[in-house]
Structure 1
Amino acid sequence: MANLNFWLSNSPLNPNHNPLITVDFEGFTGEQWYPYHESMVSVSPVFALTTHYPVEANGHAIQHVKTQSYFDDYYNRIHIFPAALELGNVASEQVSPVNLWNAYITPKILQSIEGAEEGLNVSGQPNPPFTFAALQERAWNVSISPDGPTTIDTNIIWQFGEDQAALHITGTRIVAFGWLVDWSKPVTETLQWLTDILQSKTGHEQRRSLRLSPRIQFDAELLLYDAERQFFDLAMVGWDAKNFAMPIWPQQQWLKTSHAVGGMVIYCDTTYRNFKANRLAILRGQTAFDNETVEIESVYADRLILKRPLLKSWPAGTCFAPAVTAQLAEQPNLIKRTDRMMRTQVSFNVTEPVEHPAHLPSATYRSYPVLEDAPNEQKDLTHTFERFFNTLDNKIAQPLKHDLAKAAFNLYQYAWMTYGREQQAQLKGLFYALSGSQKVIWIPTFSDDLTVISNQTGTSNALTIRWCGYARFAQNQLGRRDIQIRLKNGTTLYRRIISAAEINAESEQIVLDENFDNVNQNTVLMISFISLCRLSNDTLTIEHSNDSDGIAKAEATWRGVHES
């Protein structure tokens, strides 16, 4: 058996024990733990206790500051949540819950609810007056219908006598423009930027854009008959000066699946279409009366998530398009064909900014992009020049003209014809990137401007060309110093002419700033001059022959600028 080191404490019964320890405690010795020893100490109090509260002293006033607490922050007032409703565009009835909490520790009487104007309704509780119990919370439903004033900016106030709770409501009522356009005539989309151009006498420019996004106008033809004509006539009488939810007709599509009432998702193709979060879209049935405007919560490649459930069911084949808020630019002129049918043209000014991704060509030369796509030459395109003349004419002698800039600024007419949504998106992206007349880009003439007649091979920086007067007239001239060399193998070279000289009556030689390999009359397809240009004005028009899966056309005039 193992031995353990230990020590044995002295018993309280030893001579040195504390005389104040009770006999009961002294009973706990050895292993005698139970039964307990009865107490030999009396439990009766020695003397009776007397209560002396409150204690009085010599009181005096002191300076103090009462600090705020959590109680002061939240109680003894009326709380409302939310305190403001920002509705945005109201195209269908919207219902929002509003909660009021009586944070007083005593009952309060709601005397009245004020400020509910036309198109606003407050429901969900008994009509006042009635009593709010202490610390009681109640909920109301505030509904806003599309019928009423165009602009919503009002306060609904719950009156509690000396206290009140206010709900600030803002928004804009709009009506869906549900009439279909007549696609026998194109729909035009006009983009208008605003560029401030400061131009010196030498032609150098300083340009700044004054708009973050362009103004947009849509023009379309309508063919109206029977009930839709009557509806259009009355809508113009009562609403033509207000906002419409206008579908972007060139971006319409037809849904491939049906959607049930109460749904929060619309399955559609959103690629290269102007679907944006917090913006609108329109579903349209067979007539102008059958439509629904929805507000978008988020956008995915194959679907839209809505902010509110669908109010009705929509079958597969329903026409669906992104929408923008717009106002009529002018009153429509109705042309009466019969007593039941009329034709008209509508012009809408979009009242909200419309963003679009900027897109510049990938090819660059001297730090600027190059437009390499050849123009649509279905019709004749013009090419001219502009000079800065200062004319002195005293009406007696011959007038005197002085060329201030000593340069000819090229003016090129250009035309596009795009097919499909991707090409149309890239064209519009180019316009957005250029921001009207602000930005510059290299524009080739897309003409055979210089003809190579040499058969030299190998590496060189000189070309022999057919005599055309370049060395005599165009050397170091604006818009005639840089060239695009297109080879038959598909390669495109960009070079600057640094010098030129006549060889004889039939040939000239030009020297370029960089070497090249095997550029001769057998390998060159075409040499064109390129000019650094900007758009000559800030207004661009896209003509949609049909929707965005079809054809769209546009035209512009490029103006040469002084290179830096």
Structure 2
Amino acid sequence: MAEKLAVQLTAPQGGIDNPNLSGGVYEITSAWHPYSQSLAEPMLSGTIVRNNSNKPSREIKASLITSFSDDYYHRVHISPSQLELGNIASTQEVTFYVWNAHFTQKRLTAIIGISEGLVLDGKKAPYDYQALEEQQYKLTVTPDGSSVIDDSIVFAFDEERPSIIITGDRIVAFAFMPNWQDGITETLEWSTDILTSESGFEQRSALYLTPRRTLEADFILHQNQRQYFNNMMSWGARNWAIPLWHYIQTLTIAAQQGDNFIGCTTQDIEFSEGGLILLYRDFTTYEITEVSAISEDGLTLKRSLQADWKKGTRLYPAKSACFAKQPSLSRKTDNLQLASIEFFIDDTNPFKGVAPEETYLGFPVFMMRPEESNDLTSQYQRLLETVDNKMALPLVFDKSTYSFLVQSYRWLGMGRTEQRQFREFIYFLNGQQKAAWIPSHADDLTVVDIVSATEPVLVIAPCGYKRFASNDPDKKHLVIYLNDGTHYFRKIIDSEAIDGKERLALDSPLGKQLKPSDIRRICYMRLCRSNSDSVEISHVTDSEGLAASQLTFKRVRDNEL
């Protein structure tokens, strides 16, 4: 077999110093031109004739190497191939695409697997997809149907059956209103791992990113409400969309069907982007929708409202929740039933933890006075170890030689601002992890002489400080409250008993001369952490009213490290 190969040869003007090339190359006189310019002289050209009639001496087996074409074409694609819808509280619409990636026509013969509550809009079967044709489908998911969505919609072609997997949970609003006689109890629970040394120092590690949260309330169910509730219990293991009842507000401007904005108050209310809200008229007339953006004057919705809501309609933020334990029911008559229910919020509960503004020795100071309508309790704890062989007297060892005061604190807050500030503080504490200075809020020391502006000394009535407490770090730090509303933080560095009085040397002077009558109270101040990972907030009324909480603090030695 003869082959002809036409070539054009040229050489650079300076020649080529390459021992592997024939010397005849240097006889070429054609000029070398840059690629951007045309050739000044015609190039040497010729024809090479090669005769090759030999058959191959052996056969070589090979396979075709796949390419991008094989990976991407010659099949039908559905994009995305899986839809995770999460909690379905209202009608949702999602789109997906079917693409015939064949270079030939393919026939869609059937669409299989559309269950109750799913509506598919798009090309129906039978339909001929042309080569490389793509079609868009819209899937509408309604709250009606099975409580669990776990479906696979199959697109049956002649030789292929691609599918799209759809998962989610239908949630229904728990639209019964609580009995406010005993209020609503909210519980926030963190988890802290604490390692305590024999000297009393601690290493504390938070195990939760956000606290677990429960809401507990009582309900009075009468007539049709009782019937409706009992039938809803068939879904008792599923999630509900529960309103945060203490954040109630009413619409000041009517909202119309098709609106995607609701004018309302958003400051200090737990609305969240991507979260749920509930518009409520009665236990069967309500609408749940999602929030896409929050502004000072209202909420922008992910989808338009499906109904008209007149002025005065109740508006709540809502959360996905399940029963923490199955409801406790008490039947009073054949038409009246009481229910006590605790809900577990099935979601993360982020909130911005904010430390108090005032600081002392690098730690924040929680200055808010406790509510004292009930007694505030306290107890001194020690790291004691008892050795008892049940024969002789027991032997007790004080391992750290220090006391750790555990003191209770009761908080009472009026209005959304105070409640938000308290919530910021307990989120700052992060369970038992972080510490803050806590005053005793008691009259611990009584000044009996004038306090000099330049001399850092307090002369106090005898109270046994020098004898018992002078070496105890538990009683070294003071907060001095004055009648004019100001206060000072000071540390006791020395003490002595003279002439029936006691003198306390402070780390710095007050810078102001004070008479004993100018001082309202002197309190010991201790660096403390929460003594529990669980905090209960009792919502006596809605968030514009009253809320209460009880905390317990325990002294730590973090400031001594």
Which residue matches 2:137?
Answer: 140
Partner of residue 424, structure 1:
419
Q: CA deviation at 1:135?
A: 3.8
Distance 1:82 1:315 in 2: 40
2:167 alignment partner AA: T
Q: In 2, are the aligned partners of 1:264 and 1:310 still within 8 Å (CA)? A: yes
Q: Considering only CA atoms, is the larger Rg found in Structure 1 or Structure 2?
A: 1
Q: Is the CA contact 1:150–1:243 (under 8 Å) kept in the aligned structure 2?
A: no
Alignment match, 1:252: 248
SS, match of residue 401 in structure 2: coil
Secondary structure in structure 2 of the residue aligned to 1:516: coil
The equivalent of 1:44 in structure 2 is none
Structure 2 stretches of 5 or more lacking a match? 1-50
Alpha-carbon contact 1:455-1:522 (below 8 Å) kept: no
SS of 2:271's partner is: coil
Matches within 5 A, 1:261-276: 261-276=257-272
State the partner residue of 2:307: 312
Q: Secondary structure at the match of 1:229?
A: helix
Partner-residue secondary structure (3-state), 1:231: helix
8 Å Cα contact 2:186-2:213 kept in structure 1: yes
Residue of structure 1 aligned with 2:155, choices 133, 155, 158: 158
Task: Name the structure 1 match of 2:457.
Answer: 462
Paired residue for 1:14? none
Aligned to 1:398: 393
Query: What stretches of structure 1 of length at least 5 have no aligned partner?
Result: 1-55
Report the 3-state secondary structure (helix = DSSP H, G, I; strand = E; otherwise coil) of the residue aligned with 1:406.
strand
TM-score relative to the length of structure 1: 0.84
For 1:86, the equivalent position in structure 2 comes to: 84
The one-character-per-residue Cα deviations of 1:358-400 (angstroms, maximum 9, x if unpaired) are 1221110000001111100011111221111111223333322
1:187 is aligned, of 177, 184, 194, to: 184
Equivalent residue in structure 1 for 2:503, among 482, 503, 509: 509
The one-letter code matched in structure 2 to 1:142 is L
On the 8 A contact 1:371/1:442 being kept in 2, the answer is yes
C-alpha deviation, 1:164, in angstroms: 4.2
Q: Show the counterpart of 1:110.
A: 108
2:123 is matched with: 125
Letter in 2 for 1:132: Y
Structure 1: distance between partners of 2:63 and 2:397 = 88
Measured in 2, the distance between the counterparts of 1:100 and 1:249 equals 44
The one-letter code of the counterpart of 2:84 is E
Equivalent residues of 1:81, 1:100 under 8 A apart: yes
Q: 1:64 to 1:221 in 2, by over 3 A?
A: closer
In the alignment, the residues of structure 1 paired with residue 324 and residue 241 of structure 2 have an alpha-carbon distance, to the nearest angstrom, of 14
Question: Is the 1:112–1:158 Cα contact (8 Å) retained in structure 2?
Answer: yes
Cα deviation for residue 519 of structure 1 reads 3.7
The answer as to whether partners of 1:102 and 1:136 remain within 8 angstroms in 2 is: yes
- 8 Å Cα contact 2:407/2:554 also seen in 1: yes
Q: What CA distance in whole angstroms lies between the structure 1 residues aligned with 2:96 and 2:525?
A: 65
TM-fit CA distance, 1:541: 0.2
TM-score (norm 2): 0.85
Distance 1:72 1:397, change over 3 A: closer
In the TM superposition, what are the counterparts of 1:97-496 in structure 2 within 5 Å? 97-126=95-124, 128-236=125-233, 238-285=234-281, 287-496=282-491
* 8 Å contact kept, 1:254–1:320: yes
* Cα distance in 1 for residues equivalent to 2:54 and 2:64: 18
In 2, Cα distance between equivalents of 1:296 and 1:106:
45
How much has 1:488 moved relative to structure 2? 2.3
Conserved in 2, the CA contact under 8 Å of 1:284 and 1:292? yes
* Aligned twin of 2:11: none
Q: Judge conservation of contact 2:85–2:167 (CA < 8 Å) in 1.
A: yes
Assess if the C-alpha contact under 8 Å between 2:275 and 2:290 holds in 1: yes
Does the aligned pair in 1 maintain the 2:187–2:534 contact within 8 Å? yes
Deviations 1:80-125 (CA, angstroms, capped at 9, x unpaired): 3444433232012223233323243322111332343443343443
Instruction: Output the CA distance in 1 between the equivalents of 2:148 and 2:490.
Output: 59
Q: Which stretch shows the higher mean deviation, 391-400 or 323-332?
A: 391-400
Calculate percent identity across the aligned residue pairs: 37
Q: Is the 8 A contact 1:272 1:421 kept in 2?
A: yes
Q: What amino acid is aligned across from residue 242 of structure 2 in structure 1?
A: M
**Structure-2 residue corresponding to 1:51:** none
Q: CA deviation at 1:153?
A: 4.0
One-letter amino acid matched to 2:260: M
Please name the residue that 1:53 is paired with. Answer: none
Deviant stretches of 4+, over 4 Å: 56-69, 71-75
CA distance in 2 between counterparts of 1:239 and 1:178 reads: 14
User: Secondary structure at the residue paired with 1:201?
Assistant: coil
Equivalent AA in structure 1 for residue 505 of structure 2? V
Instruction: Compute the displacement of 1:167 (Å).
Output: 2.2
2 CA distance for matches of 1:396 and 1:72? 86
Shift of 1:288: 0.6
Name the residue aligned to 2:48: none
Count of residue pairs brought into register by the alignment: 504
Indicate the SS of the match to 2:455.
strand
Indicate the residue corresponding to 1:18 in structure 2.
none
Q: Secondary structure at the match of 1:422?
A: helix
Aligned partners of 1:484 and 1:495 also within 8 Å = yes
